Every structure is written in C-alpha cells, then in structure tokens.
Amino acid sequence: QKEVEQNSGPLSVPEGAIASLNCTYSDRGSQSFFWYRQYSGKSPELIMFIYSNGDKEDGRFTAQLNKASQYVSLLIRDSQPSDSATYLCAVSRNEKLTFGTGTRLTIIP
C-alpha cells in the first residue's frame, strides 16, 4: 500500500463548477497535511495546509481533513482554467513530508 494515495486522473471539470480532489494516507501518526499545486514544467507551490479535523477555507479553496478515515480532500469552487494543474497531496510526520503521485486536473472552458 502506498503511503499517500491519490487518483491520478485526469479529472475534467467544467469552468465554474466545483473540483473535488481526494487523498488517503496510511500512517495514522501523520501530523500535518498539505496540498501543493504543480503546473506543467514548474515546481510545486503550497496552496493549503491543515492540521486539525474539519474544514479550512482560503478563498476558493477548502481543505477537509478526517483523521479517523485517514482522508484529506481539496475543494476548488468556481473552477477557472488557470486551476488546470497537477495537485499533490502531502502528509508530514516528524519533519518528513511524503507526497502522493498527484491528480491531474483540467478545467474545461
């Protein structure tokens, strides 16, 4: 079992709709959870982080964490073509950040 699992996609979402990205992790001791966005040919950039169960909202982005289910998700509201990218889920324990393989998201105009 991979430590951090994501559906590789591609996930296609119409412009203006909600994009929902999911991630599961295997280590129950994971402490911090992150979403990075990576445009093709570019480096990953942090867009959201969450430490506690529940929802965390930042603009059009909402991160959701359920530690009991070992599940993290990212919702993108009012999806824009500029949101088209690969989204990497990452979990951290003892300063070691482990990434998933990413979900490729395409927003269709």
Partner 1 sequence: DTAVSQTPKYLVTQMGNDKSIKCEQNLGHDTMYWYKQDSKKFLKIMFSYNNKELIINETVPNRFSPKSPDKAHLNLHINSLELGDSAVYFCASTDRGEEKLFFGSGTQLSVL
Single residue of 49, 60, 71, 106 touching partner 1 by CB under 8 A: 49
Residue 18's contacts (CB-CB under 8 Å, 6 or more residues apart) are 75, 76, 77, 78, 79
The nearer residue to partner 1, 18 or 53, going by C-beta atoms, is 53
Question: Per rule CB under 8 A, is residue 7 in the interface with partner 1?
Answer: no
Burial of 103 (0-12, 13-18, 19+ CB in 10 A): buried
Buried b (16+ CB within 10 A) or exposed e, 11-47: bebeeeeebebbbbbeeeebeebbbbbeeeeeebeeb
Question: Per rule CB under 8 A, is residue 55 in the interface with partner 1?
Answer: no
Closest distance to partner 1 from the beta carbon of 100 (Å) = 8
Question: Per rule CB under 8 A, is residue 46 in the interface with partner 1?
Answer: yes
Distance of CA 9 to the CA centre of its chain: 13
Question: Per rule CB under 8 A, is residue 44 in the interface with partner 1?
Answer: yes
Closest distance to partner 1 from the beta carbon of 77 (Å) = 23
Return residues touching partner 1 (CB under 8 A): 8, 32, 34, 38, 42-46, 49, 86, 88, 92, 95-99, 101-102
